[in-house]
């Protein structure tokens, strides 16, 4: 079977999947409705300070699995909803930043620099239109790069990397993530080491559980839902509760938003914004393709590059960056939105999650089964059908449908979500905690899972207090099993050679790069301090 055959089968899997209902005899698949529902949910969540796409994905995933089950037909509806949330939250995050000077996420801070001044000048609707156009443009560009690059990267890995090289590549990825995320490489390595330690509890190929301390509760290890949701979501809720307790007052927000003058986005405006959108889309896509760096750096670089260009080409009478320049919003939103699609390049081609949203996509694939992100997904077979490749092209189709929704109804729904910023945090945070614990119990159905989740929530809280990023912990926990399995297989395939990571030139190069990344980043951190 050729590439076009698989592309067509992936499209059919989305449009001709299990039918939810029909309109005038036209079948509407459940996957399409899940993409739409996830997209609208993502915009609402992104527009709510204190929430983010990963929180909605974390709460929704166990509930969706309990509804759809563990059959192969559940893969596309569940992952389609998660993709919709990821896309919607990306554009929704600009709403509180522009309207109320309240960045819901760190990368949205750069949007406040020009978005809120435009709101104070009565140009709130135009600022939101600029953000929507830039975000949708960057996201679409990033998805096109994903669709083109992910299969080729996977084929290269499958052709040139054997078991020792794949093991070394996983070690390099973890080293890169540890060095790139967090306040320092030492904290990143500590977070990664904790994740690997927790992943190895109660697992392995021995006849007795490892690191279980003789406790029957630990014999089966820690459920992945309790570890990931506890550290990422419950830990964040605990930290927000502490911050709320310390502040004991809400941030001042505008009660009335003035609307003055023309709020439409004209072709002349688009033409002026396009150079900023183009540069930032390239920057965000390049950064997103590297695991673990995230959208905050992309937003900062996009804004910085855009500001330097604006200083060279500025015309008289137009505001500077930081004073309400539409170009500043465009540069920021195009950069942070173009990260989301590119972040899936290492996920689909290597099986390595690069951000929190990608973590939940991998969790969905592992929980349901039938799809294992990695190089084997893009193995084209002539005689038999590779079902994982069909799913991959189905995911690409879902992403393009989400982009189409973004271009058509995303802007309208986004501009109506300003009311979400007024939800009090003392109501929002307990609701998120309750929903997260409910979602964990739905998946695990035993009280030990709740205690595990709360324990990991406490761990996540202290990691945030000590400025240790929890993301390396989560990624290391997810990759720990793959790393051990790959290392065992490589050790056996090389005849029990203890130096198997250094006998192959490519594997040795990866290991050298792992050390180099840590040393280089540590030096840079020391120079800045």
The owner of tokens 């978005």 is 115
For residue 337, the model assigns a pLDDT of 87
> Could you tell me the two tokens for 174?
């973890």
Distance CA 198, CA 451 (A): 15
Three-state DSSP at 510 gives helix
**Spatial contact of 449 and 223, defined as CB atoms under 8 Å apart:** yes
Domain that includes residue 130, residue range: 3-18+25-249+265-528
**Spatial contact of 341 and 316, defined as CB atoms under 8 Å apart:** no
Q: Each residue's pLDDT tens digit in the chain (529 positions)? A: 677 888 888 889 888 877 777 787 788 889 999 999 999 998 888 888 767 788 888 888 888 888 888 888 888 999 999 999 988 888 888 888 888 777 666 667 788 888 888 888 888 888 889 999 999 999 999 999 988 888 888 888 777 788 888 889 889 888 888 887 756 788 889 999 999 999 888 876 666 777 777 777 787 788 888 888 889 888 888 988 888 787 665 454 444 556 666 677 888 888 888 999 999 999 888 888 876 666 667 787 888 888 887 777 766 667 777 778 888 888 888 988 888 788 888 888 888 776 777 788 888 888 888 888 888 888 877 677 888 888 989 999 999 999 999 999 888 888 787 667 667 777 888 888 888 888 888 878 788 889 999 999 999 999 989 888 888 888 888 888 888 888 988 888 888 888 889 988 989 999 999 999 888 888 877 766 5
Q: Domains in the chain: how many in total?
A: 1
Count of CA atoms in the C-beta half-sphere (13 A) of 362:
28
For residue 179, the model assigns a pLDDT of 82
Q: Is residue 254 part of a domain?
A: no
Q: Is residue 277 part of a domain?
A: yes
> Could you tell me the two tokens for 55?
């929180």
**Spatial contact of 257 and 99, defined as CB atoms under 8 Å apart:** yes
pTM of the model: 0.82
Q: Is residue 201 part of a domain?
A: yes
For residue 182, the model assigns a pLDDT of 57
CA diameter of the chain: 76
> Could you tell me the two tokens for 172?
């390099």
- What number of other Cβ atoms are within 10 A of residue 315's Cβ? 7
For the CA atoms of the chain, what is the radius of gyration?
Answer: 23
Q: Is residue 258 part of a domain?
A: no
For residue 140, the model assigns a pLDDT of 92
Q: Is residue 387 part of a domain?
A: yes
Instruction: Give the DSSP letter string of 78-97.
Output: HHHHHHHHHHHHHHHTHHHH
Q: How far apart are the first and last CA of the chain?
A: 57
For residue 315, the model assigns a pLDDT of 66
Q: Is residue 257 part of a domain?
A: no
């Amino acid at each position: 079977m050729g590439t076009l055959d698989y592309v067509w089968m992936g499209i059919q899997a989305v449009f001709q999947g299990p039918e939810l209902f029909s309109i005038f005899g036209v079948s509407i698949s459940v996957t399409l409705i899940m993409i739409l529902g996830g997209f609208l949910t993502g915009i609402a969540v992104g527009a709510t300070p204190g929430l983010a796409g990963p929180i909605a994905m974390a709460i929704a995933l166990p509930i969706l699995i309990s509804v759809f089950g563990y059959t192969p037909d559940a893969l596309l509806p569940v992952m389609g909803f998660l993709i919709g949330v990821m896309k919607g939250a990306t554009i929704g995050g600009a709403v509180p930043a522009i309207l109320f000077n309240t960045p819901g996420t760190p990368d949205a801070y750069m949007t406040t620099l020009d978005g809120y001044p435009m709101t104070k000048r009565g140009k709130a609707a135009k600022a939101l239109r600029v953000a929507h156009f830039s975000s949708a443009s960057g996201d679409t560009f990033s998805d096109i790069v994903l669709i083109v690059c992910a299969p080729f990267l996977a084929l290269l890995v499958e052709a040139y990397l054997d078991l020792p090289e794949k093991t070394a590549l996983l070690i390099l990825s973890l080293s890169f993530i540890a060095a790139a995320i967090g306040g320092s490489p030492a904290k990143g390595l500590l977070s990664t080491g904790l994740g690997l330690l927790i992943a190895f509890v109660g697992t392995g190929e021995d006849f007795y559980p490892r690191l279980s301390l003789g406790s029957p509760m630990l014999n089966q290890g820690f459920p992945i839902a309790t570890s990931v949701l506890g550290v990422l979501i419950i830990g964040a809720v605990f930290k927000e509760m502490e911050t709320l307790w310390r502040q004991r007052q809400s941030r001042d927000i505008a009660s009335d938003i003035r609307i003055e003058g023309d709020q439409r986005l004209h072709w002349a405006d688009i033409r002026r914004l396009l150079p900023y959108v183009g540069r930032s889309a390239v920057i965000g896509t390049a950064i997103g393709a590297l695991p673990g760096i995230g959208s905050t750096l992309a937003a900062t670089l996009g804004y910085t590059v855009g500001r330097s260009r604006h200083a060279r080409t500025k015309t008289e009478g137009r505001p500077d960056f930081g004073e309400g320049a539409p170009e500043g919003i465009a540069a920021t939103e195009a950069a942070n939105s173009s990260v989301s699609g590119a972040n899936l390049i290492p996920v689909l081609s290597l099986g390595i999650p690069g951000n929190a949203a990608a973590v939940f996509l991998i969790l969905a694939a592992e929980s349901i089964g039938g799809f294992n992100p990695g190089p084997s997904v893009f193995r084209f077979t002539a005689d038999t059908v590779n079902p994982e490749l069909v799913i991959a092209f189905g995911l690409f189709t879902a992403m393009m449908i989400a982009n189409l929704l973004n271009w058509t109804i995303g802007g309208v729904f986004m501009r109506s979500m300003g009311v979400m910023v007024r939800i009090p945090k003392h109501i929002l945070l307990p609701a998120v905690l309750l929903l997260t614990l409910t979602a964990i119990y739905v998946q695990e159905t035993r009280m030990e899972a709740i205690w595990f989740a709360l324990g990991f929530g406490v761990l996540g809280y202290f990691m945030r207090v000590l400025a240790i990023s929890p993301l390396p912990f989560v990624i290391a926990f997810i990759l720990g099993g793959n790393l051990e399995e790959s290392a065992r297989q490589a050790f056996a395939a090389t005849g029990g050679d203890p130096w198997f990571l250094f006998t192959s030139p490519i594997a040795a190069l990866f290991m050298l790069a792992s050390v180099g990344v840590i040393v280089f980043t540590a030096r840079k951190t020391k120079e800045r301090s």
